[in-house]
Amino acid sequence: MFRNYLKIALRNLWKHKSSTLINVVGLSIAFCSSVLLFLSAAFELSFDKFHTNAEGIFRTYFVINDPKGQERSASMPYPFVPALKQEYPEVAFATRYQQGNGAVQYKDKQLAKEIDGVDPDMLSMFSFPMRQGNAQTALNSLSSIVISEDMANDLFGKENPMGKPLRINGFGGWRNFIVTGVVADAPDNSTFQFDAFIRIENQPAYLEGLKRWDNTNHEAYVALRPGVDQAAFEKRLQPFTQKYFQSEISYLKQQGARPDERGELYSIRLQPLLDVHFDTDLIQGHGINRMYVYTLMAIGLFILVIAAINFINLTLARSFTRAREVGVRKSLGAQRGQLFAQLWGETLLTCGLGLVIGAVLVVTLRQPFNVLFNAKLSADFIMQPTTLLIALAGFLLVTLLAGGYPALVMTRFQTVQVLKGKVTSGKPGTLRNALIVTQFAIACLLIIGTFVVLRQTSYLRGKPLGFNKEQVISIPVGNEVEGTYALAQLRNRLASNPSVVTMTGTGVNIGRGLDGSSQRGMVGFVHKGREVTSDWLRVDYDYLQTLGIKLLAGRDFSRQHPVDSTTSVIVSTSFAKQLGEKQPIGAFFQTDSAGGKYQIIGLIPDFHLYALRSEIKPIAMHLHQDAEIRYILMRVAPQNMVSMMETLKREWREIAPRSEFLGSFLNENTDRWYRQEEKMAQMLSLAAGIAIALSCMGLFAIALLSIQQRTKEIGVRKVLGASVVSIVGLLSRDFIKLVLIAIMIASPVAWWAMNQWLSDFAYKIDIEWWVFVLAGLLAILIALLTVSFQSIKAALMNPVKSLRTE
């Protein structure tokens, strides 16, 4: 029997080659797209779950109930973790975590690596397996360094790294360390990405910072003992906050701040480790909005639903041509169960072929997908048993739903009516209308989302940043040479080059350069009873001139004023506003009780040092030599930009021969700020294209089914003198009504969803009415073109043939 069913199924599929091809192509594209999107979402949701005690680890952060609004900060002071461990036995492990970079030297090899400062508990808290060494003792000494497997291979090859000396530059000059452990490389789905760990006490300003509770510069993670409740422990931290942050609390009271629901003005909270990757406000590095992950899953589901709807529509369109076959089989004694098995078997065969082609497409397109959307799908991740089981379960569910309903409809045909040729489907049912509305509602939703994301990305990239980003080259200094030395060398070597307009140095890059790093220095203090918080930006001479920033008052830094390199600062207008001085030029302020006073010599407009996701921040610029120059900025003549980049590469090989030249144009760097938004726009536009294509297939099937049922009516109308245009309008009217309903459903949903997405941006567009009109007109036009093909064909048919056929 199975062989007979298979033979009949193959014959039927071959007989209706066009509909079979549409089904197989649609299903294979849907399976491929959905699998890639679901796997991308699953990868993001798997972040940090590989840690054995992931649910018991938390990141600490501050909640500050300022009168202007609630603020959060995950940046902690150096004495925080030692005091917390000493005073709270509920804390099993705790570590500080400070990202860093350094040049690592072993024999004749020198490499740039990420070397993070941590406490010894880091290796015990987190599940990074030790390949060599002991997790409990590997970081007991300040001169110890634990390296990753990848770094061990790069530096030592097949040589045993244990006990070997390394020289590292990046923590206050060249220093010696001993390898005391080798740890497994961090997986791609880890928040922590590193090459090596050293003790955080090796940071140059550690001893000074250990005395201050107002100097925050790193993250802190704690592991609570079993049975300790997160909420209860947060309440236990209230006396700790009162003890060490009394000055901050007093200031908030003076400003009229109101306590939160817990009665706190300034509090310490715990954030579960599994939430860290999705907190784009607090994470150091590349966080991702959880809504983006859910959007991936929704798009994958939408495409799969559209493909299933198409399958139902195409199968129903053919079901009435097979009515006589079903009637004959019933008259010969076939049971409904047998007919259902046969018809559903055809569905299984078609879907199976689509799944196989889709799987081949997944393997083939995995690398291009990773490149296009900056994803990290590996072959191992795709071939995991759990992934395969979920894919198989999804396939069976789609097959059952998509093939089960049409098969059930056909098995319900009445034998006598079928054999008399009187089987009709009646008027379009609620289900069929719902299917077409669902398809185009999804398509409209994706089209509107694409328009909004593209407009927001364009708005962010086009919004003035407060400086001139054109014709400026940014060069990361790296760790081989000191920034001041590299800047002086470039100035000397290029002094007579007419293509160089001006040159400067800074501690913070603007945008995301090719080194992928980002730094930020902050300072907070109280001035005449007013709290001041600002970016503390290390610059060099000619910074304002290089970026085209105009002075509003005062003067620029000058080599003619030696005091400028020690106590002078240039501030932005928002900094001056916080300070509260009527005349900011010449005003003095003090950042801490031990430090000296600083004098404001210049006032500049506010400008965006960071991406426009957050509001513009106050900035204070200084020339202090104790802060490093990490980037060199150079304005070049517009006619020689490409040749100047080649000149810089040659000069850099002379200045830092062991370092890779990673120079890039500043306007490209600022564009990279919005790589995630660009990726989302690409994802939505591609999904919208697939959804529209699949929806057109479904609409084509509906039109075919409807016209087949109205063949006699069309013939009668033509005999009575109806024109081709009137018949096409008659046949298209019902479908356009359904598309209009779909637009009405999709528009408010899209408005709500995109407003939720835009809420993450401090600077954003307004969603205007024409976006919905344009999306609707596009959907109507596509639907009209799809339906018109079959409508015109039917309208041009010979009425004699139509009446005879019917």
> Exposure of 290 by Cβ count < 10 A (0-12 exposed, 13-18 middle, 19+ buried)?
middle
What's the pLDDT score for residue 94?
95
Q: Is residue 69 left, alpha or beta, with left meaning phi > 0 and alpha meaning psi from -120 to 50?
A: left
Residue 735 has pLDDT above 70, yes or no: yes
**Could you give the angle at the alpha carbon of 669 between the alpha carbons of 668 and 671, nearest 5°?**
65
Separation CA 402–CA 343 (nearest Å) = 12
What 3-state class would DSSP assign to 196? strand
CA distances in angstroms from 629 to 254, 402, 484, 500, listed in the order given: 38, 63, 6, 20
What's 487's DSSP letter?
H
Q: What is the pLDDT of residues 17-54, one digit of tens each?
A: 666 777 788 888 888 888 888 888 888 888 999 999 99
pLDDT band at 428 (very low <50, low <70, confident <90, very high): very low
Whether residue 681 contacts residue 453, with contact meaning beta carbons closer than 8 Å, is answered with yes
**Could you give the angle at the alpha carbon of 453 between the alpha carbons of 451 and 456, nearest 5°?**
105
Residue written as tokens 């390898």?
A: 179
Q: Are strands 101-106 and 165-169 parallel, antiparallel or unpaired?
A: antiparallel
The shares of helix, strand and coil residues in the chain, as percent rounded to the nearest 5, are: 50, 20, 30
Return all residues near 483 (Cβ < 8 A) that are at least 6 apart: 477, 505, 628, 629, 630, 631, 632
Separation CA 339–CA 205 (nearest Å) = 80
Whether residue 408 contacts residue 341, with contact meaning beta carbons closer than 8 Å, is answered with no
Q: What are phi and psi of 131, to 5 degrees?
A: -85, -35
Return all residues near 797 (Cβ < 8 A) that are at least 6 apart: 711, 714, 715
What's the pLDDT score for residue 556?
92
Separation CA 772–CA 686 (nearest Å) = 19
Q: What are phi and psi of 321, to 5 degrees?
A: -80, -15
Tokens of 46: 């798997």
Residue 394 has pLDDT above 80, yes or no: no
What's the pLDDT score for residue 291?
80
Return all residues near 640 (Cβ < 8 A) that are at least 6 apart: 499
What's the pLDDT score for residue 284?
46
Residue 1 has pLDDT above 70, yes or no: no
Residue 755 has pLDDT above 70, yes or no: yes
Q: Are strands 588-590 and 76-77 parallel, antiparallel or unpaired?
A: unpaired
Whether residue 196 contacts residue 138, with contact meaning beta carbons closer than 8 Å, is answered with no
What 3-state class would DSSP assign to 320? helix
Average pLDDT over residues 157-175: 88
Tokens of 723: 């024109």
User: What type of residue sits at position 700?
Assistant: F
Instruction: Give me the chain's average pLDDT, please.
Output: 82
What's the pLDDT score for residue 543?
93
**Could you give the angle at the alpha carbon of 645 between the alpha carbons of 644 and 646, nearest 5°?**
90
Residue 427 has pLDDT above 50, yes or no: no
What's the pLDDT score for residue 184?
94
- Of the candidates 151, 101, 146, the one whose C-alpha atom is nearest the C-alpha of residue 119 is 146
Separation CA 322–CA 324 (nearest Å) = 6
- Of the candidates 235, 237, 259, the one whose C-alpha atom is nearest the C-alpha of residue 249 is 259
Separation CA 395–CA 399 (nearest Å) = 6
Angle between helices 769-795 and 711-719 (to 10 degrees): 80
What's the pLDDT score for residue 643?
85
Separation CA 74–CA 61 (nearest Å) = 4
Return the minimum-mean-pLDDT range out of 111-125, 193-207, 413-427, 561-575: 413-427
What 3-state class would DSSP assign to 391? helix
Q: Is residue 236 left, alpha or beta, with left meaning phi > 0 and alpha meaning psi from -120 to 50?
A: alpha
User: What type of residue sits at position 476?
Assistant: P
Euclidean distance between the first and the last CA atom of the chain, given in angstroms as a whole number: 35
For 740, what's the count of Cα atoms within 13 Å in the CB-facing half-sphere? 6
What's the pLDDT score for residue 209?
82
Whether residue 151 contacts residue 196, with contact meaning beta carbons closer than 8 Å, is answered with yes
Distance of CA 69 to the CA centre of its chain: 26
**Which is more confident, 493 or 411?**
493
Print the SS3 string covering 650-699: HHHHHHCCCCCCCCEEHHHHHHHCCHHHHHHHHHHHHHHHHHHHHHHHHH
Separation CA 739–CA 776 (nearest Å) = 8
Output the CA torsion sign for 160, 163, 167, 171. positive
- Bridge partners of 181? 146
Return all residues near 246 (Cβ < 8 A) that are at least 6 apart: none
What's the pLDDT score for residue 395?
77
Separation CA 106–CA 108 (nearest Å) = 6
Beta-strand runs (E) in 214-367:
216-224, 266-272
Whether residue 536 contacts residue 622, with contact meaning beta carbons closer than 8 Å, is answered with yes
pLDDT band at 251 (very low <50, low <70, confident <90, very high): confident
Return the minimum-mean-pLDDT range out of 156-170, 664-678, 694-708: 694-708
pLDDT band at 419 (very low <50, low <70, confident <90, very high): low
Whether residue 667 contacts residue 357, with contact meaning beta carbons closer than 8 Å, is answered with no
Separation CA 361–CA 33 (nearest Å) = 9
pLDDT band at 285 (very low <50, low <70, confident <90, very high): very low
User: What type of residue sits at position 77?
Assistant: P
- The number of residues in the chain equals 806
Q: What is the pLDDT of residues 331-350, one digit of tens each?
A: 655 566 666 666 666 777 77
Residue 224 has pLDDT above 90, yes or no: yes
Separation CA 734–CA 702 (nearest Å) = 11
User: What type of residue sits at position 170?
Assistant: G
- Of the candidates 501, 508, 503, 469, the one whose C-alpha atom is nearest the C-alpha of residue 489 is 503
Helix ranges, 412-429 (H): 415-419
User: What type of residue sits at position 255?
Assistant: Q
What 3-state class would DSSP assign to 368? helix
Q: What is the pLDDT of residues 609-648, one digit of tens each?
A: 888 877 888 999 999 877 788 899 999 988 878 888 888 9
Q: What is the pLDDT of residues 664-686, one digit of tens each?
A: 999 888 888 887 778 778 888 88
Whether residue 319 contacts residue 405, with contact meaning beta carbons closer than 8 Å, is answered with no
What 3-state class would DSSP assign to 167? strand
